């Protein structure tokens, strides 16, 4: 069974307990770590979702370059959470820009609490623009109204992560064989001398 870790980065008061309560129990710590075994496209996967913002505030003290995918969630009726999401997207891009220049790490920006659209503080177009600026997918959901949109969101992200990991593995194989061919040529190609 392959492990595909993902990292969920969420602001306080965005409905995280609703967003993640359906599929996963959490380990009780300062942060929450959710584990889920699931099947996608016929493959059995162990997924880890890390929520560093499960307490009163979100502080990303450690680097975020180890994760294979990200979900950044903001509350559509809280402009501060949207601004925090913007800052987190910037931090993710900075951490990954030097590591994976060929293909971006999968990121999904999610506007939660769509059921409270009458009290909207962030327009849907603003979320779409922010996602486009950061080259990530975008979706508005209501975790309180049902699980299907959340399940689809994670399924889509996991597929992107699997594609991203395959791409990186293929690049490493190609790069390694190219380096080996160059090394062999340097070692054996220089021994030829004219008599």
Q: Is 14 exposed, middle or buried (0-12, 13-18, 19+ CB in 10 A)?
A: buried
Give pLDDT, residue 193.
55
- Lowest-pLDDT range, 100-104, 140-144, 174-178? 100-104
- pLDDT tens, residue by residue, 3-34: 444 444 444 344 544 444 444 444 444 456 77
Give CATH for domain 2-189: 3.40.50.300
Q: Is 148 a residue whose pLDDT tops 70?
A: yes
């Amino acid at each position: 069974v392959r492990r595909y870790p993902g990292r969920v980065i969420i602001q306080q008061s965005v409905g995280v307990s609703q967003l993640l309560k359906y599929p996963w129990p959490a380990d009780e710590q300062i942060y929450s770590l959710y584990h889920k075994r699931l099947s996608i496209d016929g493959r059995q996967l162990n997924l880890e979702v890390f929520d560093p913002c499960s307490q009163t505030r979100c502080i990303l003290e450690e680097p975020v370059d180890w994760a294979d995918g990200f979900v950044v969630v903001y509350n559509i009726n809280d402009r501060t959470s949207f601004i925090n999401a913007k800052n987190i997207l910037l931090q993710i891009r900075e951490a990954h820009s030097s590591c994976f220049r060929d293909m971006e790490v999968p990121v999904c920006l999610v506007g939660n609490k769509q059921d409270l659209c009458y009290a909207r503080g962030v327009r849907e177009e603003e979320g779409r623009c922010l996602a486009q600026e950061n080259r990530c997918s975008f979706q508005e959901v209501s975790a309180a109204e049902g699980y299907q949109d959340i399940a689809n969101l994670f399924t889509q992200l996991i597929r992107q992560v699997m594609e991203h990991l395959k791409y990186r593995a293929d690049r490493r194989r190609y790069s390694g064989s190219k380096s080996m061919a160059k090394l062999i040529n340097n070692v054996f190609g220089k021994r030829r001398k004219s008599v």
